[in-house]
Chains A and B, each alone.
Chain A
C-alpha cells in the first residue's frame, strides 16, 4: 500500500485533525499526529488488517531547540505481511519540570521498551506508563541529557564524571 493511501486511511478513521502535518519527501510521507492521540493511532496502524504494521523498527527523538514545541518523537513502522513502511511523528513540548511527556507505546509493540528508554535518557522525554523506566546505556548517577542541543558535547566533570572503581558492584560478586 503506498504512502498516500496509508495517510488517507488514517484521516478516514480519525478525521482531519489527527494529521497535523504530512511531509512527503522521496516517496516517503511523515505524518505528525497529536501526542495525546499516539496510542490510538499506533493501535489502529498495528491492528487494521490492510495496514498491519506489526513491526516497530525504531523509536527516536529530535531536539529542535530553540523552536517550540521543542521535541519530536519519531516512530518507524514496518509491516512484515504487506512489506510496507510508514513514519509517524509527534511533537512534544518541554513541560515545567524540564522534561517532555508522551504515552509509551510498549503496550502495543513490546520492542519499544529499550528504544523508549534510550530516547528518554538521551533527550529527557518521559514515556508515561513505561513498564521499566530505567536508563538504558548511560550511568545511573548522571542527570543530564546528552543529545539535547544545549548540552555541551564534552560534558563536565560534575555532570558526566568517570565512573568510580566501585560503580559496578555486581562485578565484585563471585560468579555462579
Chain B
C-alpha cells in the first residue's frame, strides 16, 4: 500500500498499550443489530452518504462472534431481553455497547409495562446517544466518543475489565 515508503526503513517507538488501543478503536466490528426505527439511521450511517467506513468499521457483521461493538438501535421489549443478553454474551471480548436513541437509553416514550426502561439494566453501556431517532451525525459522534474511551483503556494491565486511566 506504499506505507513502507513513508516509514523509510526507520524504527518507530510507541507504547504497547497505546498501540493496542489504537488498533482496537481503528477497526471496530459492529454487529448488524437493529430493534426499531433507530436501525434505519444506523443503516443510513453505514451507507455512502455518511459512510461509516471512513472510520474503519464499514462491515456490519451478521454473527456476534465476529463483532465487538453492539449498537443497541431501538426499543427493547422485555421479551427481547433474553435474546439480547444471549447475543451480547456470544460476542468475543473485548466488546463495547452503544445505546442508540431514547428508547435504548431510558425506554423513551414507552414508559409502560412491556418495554425495558433502559438497556443499561441488562448490558454495560459505554456510550449513550440521545435522540428519537439520533441523526447519523449523532451516531458518528457517539462512535468517536467510544473511540476516545477505548484510547483511555488500560488494555495491557487488565485485559478483561480494562479500567480507564485516571485523568491526568
A166 to B82, CA, bound (A): 7
Contact B86 A171 (CB under 8 A): yes
Contact B112 A153 (CB under 8 A): yes
**Total inter-chain residue pairs, C-beta < 8 Å:** 45
B116 CB contacts on chain A under 8 angstroms: 162
Among A144, A151, A154, A171, find the residue whose CB has the most chain B CB atoms closer than 10 A: A154
Give the interface residue-count category, chain B. Answer: 10 to 19
Q: Chain A interface mostly helix, strand, loop or mixed? A: loop
In the complex formed, the residue of B with least CB distance to A155 is: B113
B121 CB contacts on chain A under 8 angstroms: 162
Name the contact of A153 in the complex, choosing from B78, B85, B113 (C-beta under 8 A).
B113
Q: Chain B interface mostly helix, strand, loop or mixed? A: helix
Name the contact of A146 in the complex, choosing from B79, B83, B111, B113 (C-beta under 8 A).
B113
Is B65 interfacial (CB 8 A cutoff)?
no
Is B81 interfacial (CB 8 A cutoff)?
yes
A155 to B116, CA, bound (A): 11
Is A24 interfacial (CB 8 A cutoff)?
no
A151 CB contacts on chain B under 8 angstroms: 113
CB distance from A108 to the nearest CB of B (A): 31
CB contacts under 8 Å to A, within B54-101, are: 78-79, 81-83, 85-86
Q: Show the binding face of B for A, using Cβ within 8 Å.
A: 78-79, 81-83, 85-86, 111-114, 116, 121-122
Can you list 9 contacts pairing A with B, beta carbon distance less than 8 Å?
Answer: A155-B113, A162-B78, A162-B81, A162-B122, A164-B82, A165-B82, A165-B85, A166-B82, A167-B82
